[in-house]
Structure 1
Amino acid sequence: MLLKDRVLFLTGGSSGIGLECARMYAKEGAHVAIVSNCQPELESIVQELGNSHHIGLHCDVSSEVQVKQAISSTISCFGRIDGIHNNAGIVTPSAMLHETTTDEWHRLMDVNLKSIYLTTKYGLESLRKTEGCILNTSSLVGHIGQEMHAAYTATKGGISALTKSMALDYAKYRIRVNAVCPAWVRTPAVQSWVKEQDNKESAEAYISKLHPLGYCPDGDVIADACVFLLSDKARFITGCTLPVSGGAELGYRR
C-alpha cells in the first residue's frame, strides 16, 4: 500500500494510461479525485473503484474556471491534496507544423501544457501544506521527436522542460516534481490505430519492434512507475523525466 490514504488529483483519469493509473492508485490505498471531460467514462471508473473513497469530477482541464472548481471540490471532499498527476492530453493532429491549423495548435497547448499551469496555480497551496508532489505525463517523443506530430511533440518537450523548472522552484517547499515519458502504449487509441491500418500484422510488428524489450505494453507498466514516483520510495527524486519505454530511445539497432 505505497499510497495509503494519499489524496491524489488525477487528470485524464477515465481512459488509457490515466485509467490504469486510477486503478493502480486505488489498489495502493489512495483516495483518487478522477478528472475527465467524458462523463460516461468517469461514472464507469468511479463505480468500478467505489465512490466511498474516490470521486469523479467532470472538467475541461483547459478551462481555468473548471480546474479551480475541481481542485476546490477535491479539497472540500478529502480535506487536502497530497499529489497532482497531470495526465490529460491530446495528440491530434497528425500533421507537419505548417499543416497544423491555428485552432489545433492552441487546443494542444491549452490541454497539454496550460492545464499543468492551472492545476499548479490552484493546487499549490494545498501541496505546500502536505509537502506533496506533482507528476506530469510527458512522452519520449518530447525528447526524440516524431514525424507528422510537430505540435504534439512541442507540448511534450515543453512538459519535460517545465518539470525540471518546477522541481527547482518548488523544492524549497519540499514539493517534488517529476515526469514519466512513455513510448507506445497499448491504449484504446493505439488499438484503434492498428485496426485502421491496411496491414494489421505489420502494424503490430512495428509497435512491438520499436521497443527493444520486444513488445508494446499495456498502461499498467506506466502506472507502476507513476506509483513509485508519487510514493515515499521516490522521496529524494525530483526533476526526473523517467523513460518508461522498453528502451525505445536507445542507440542504433539492426
Structure 2
Amino acid sequence: MLLEKRVILVTGGASGIGYACVKAYVKEGALVAVLDVDATALNSLMLEIGNDHMGVVCDVSDAVQIEDAIEKVISRYGVLNCIHNNAGIANPAKALHETSMMEWRRLMDVNLFSIYLTTKYGLEYLKDSGGCILNTGSMVGSMGQADHAVYAATKGAVNALTKSMAIDYAPFGIRVNTVAPAGVWTPMLRKWADEQRNTEEIENYLNDIHLLGFCPQGDVIADACVFLCSDKASFVTGCIMPVSGGAELGYRRS
C-alpha cells in the first residue's frame, strides 16, 4: 500500500473531492484525520472509515480551531506526515463588482487563509516527519472563470503560494504540490448546476469542456492525490498538476 501508516490531515474531507481522497488514502493504508465544518457529514464519513481514523469538527478559517485540531492529531498519532488543504467554497457565483465584502472575505478565509493556518501550526511536525503538503486548486486559477472572479483569484493565489512554499520548505525535505481539477461532479457542483436555468445544457457543457469527453467523479482526482502524497512522487515539488481531462488545452470534443 502506497500510504501505509502515514498520518494525513485532510481539511474539508467529509464531502466532494475531499471525501474521495479520504476513502482513497484509507484504502492505501493511511491513518486519516478529517477536518470539516459539517458535523453530520463528518459523522457519516467516520462510520464508513472506522475508529482507526479521526474526525474533528472545525472551521478551517479559525486559528484557534486549527491549532487545537492539529494538536489532537499529534496527541493521538504522535506524527503528521501530510497536510492536504482541500477545504474550499465557490459561492457566490458573481462578477467582482457584485461580490460583497463579506463574501470576498469568506472566500479568502476558507480557500486561502486556511492554508496559512495549517502550515503555521503543522510545519514543525512535517519537518520532523519529512512530510508533504498538498493543496486542492483548480484550473480556473490559471484560466479564469466567468462569474467566479473571487473564487478564481483564490485558486490563482493557491498556485503561486504552492510554488513559493515549495521553495521555502525544500531545505527541510518537505514537498508542496497542488492538484488542479477542472469540472468534477461534487455536491457543490451539482448544487450549482441544478440552480441554473438550463441544467441539461450545463451538464453537456461540463462533459464537453473535458477533452476526454466526460466530467468525472472525485475518484480520478483522488488517484492523483494518492500519488502526490506517496513516495512515488518523492522528487515532485512545486507542481500544479492538472487532472482535467485536457480541459486546459482549450479544445472541445467533436
Identical columns (%): 60
Secondary structure, in 3 states, of the residue corresponding to 1:139? Answer: coil
Deviation at 1:28, TM superposition (A): 0.4
Deviation at 1:202, TM superposition (A): 1.7
The match for 1:81 is 80
Secondary structure, in 3 states, of the residue corresponding to 2:249? Answer: coil
The match for 1:220 is 219
Give the Cα separation in 2 of the matches to 1:177 and 1:75: 21
- State the Cα deviation string for residues 11-44 of structure 1 (Å, max 9, x = none): 0000000000110000000000000001111111
**Residue type at the aligned position of 1:26:** V
Secondary structure, in 3 states, of the residue corresponding to 1:211? Answer: coil
The match for 1:230 is 229
Give the Cα separation in 1 of the matches to 2:194 and 2:176: 37
Cα 1:198–1:102 change in 2 (3 A) is closer
Give the Cα separation in 2 of the matches to 1:200 and 1:146: 18
**Preserved contact between residue 209 and residue 251 of structure 2 (Cα < 8 Å):** no
The match for 1:35 is 35
Deviation at 1:190, TM superposition (A): 1.8
Q: How does 1:156-195 map to 2 (within 5 A)?
A: 156-195=155-194
Secondary structure, in 3 states, of the residue corresponding to 1:136? Answer: strand
The match for 1:95 is 94
Give the Cα separation in 1 of the matches to 2:128 and 2:215: 39
- State the Cα deviation string for residues 40-90 of structure 1 (Å, max 9, x = none): 111110110001x10000100000000000000000010010000000011
Give the Cα separation in 2 of the matches to 1:222 and 1:39: 24
Give the Cα separation in 1 of the matches to 2:15 and 2:130: 28
Secondary structure, in 3 states, of the residue corresponding to 1:48? Answer: helix
Give the Cα separation in 2 of the matches to 1:148 and 1:196: 14
Aligned-residue CA RMSD (Å): 1.0
Q: Structure 2-normalised TM-score?
A: 0.97
Deviation at 1:189, TM superposition (A): 1.9
**Residue type at the aligned position of 1:5:** K
**Preserved contact between residue 209 and residue 247 of structure 2 (Cα < 8 Å):** yes
**Preserved contact between residue 211 and residue 251 of structure 2 (Cα < 8 Å):** no
The match for 1:134 is 133
**Residue type at the aligned position of 2:154:** T
Give the Cα separation in 2 of the matches to 1:199 and 1:153: 23
- State the Cα deviation string for residues 191-244 of structure 1 (Å, max 9, x = none): 233333343332221110010100000000000000000000000000000000
- State the Cα deviation string for residues 105-133 of structure 1 (Å, max 9, x = none): 11111111110000000000100000000
**Residue type at the aligned position of 1:250:** L
The match for 2:103 is 104
Give the Cα separation in 1 of the matches to 2:188 and 2:45: 18
Secondary structure, in 3 states, of the residue corresponding to 1:8? Answer: strand
| Aligned positions, number | 253
Secondary structure, in 3 states, of the residue corresponding to 2:91? Answer: coil
- Structure 1 residues not aligned, in runs of 5+: none
Give the Cα separation in 2 of the matches to 1:108 and 1:167: 23
Give the Cα separation in 1 of the matches to 2:200 and 2:107: 31
The match for 2:239 is 240
- Structure 2 residues not aligned, in runs of 5+: none
Give the Cα separation in 2 of the matches to 1:166 and 1:126: 16
Residue 37 of structure 2 corresponds to residue 23 of structure 1: no
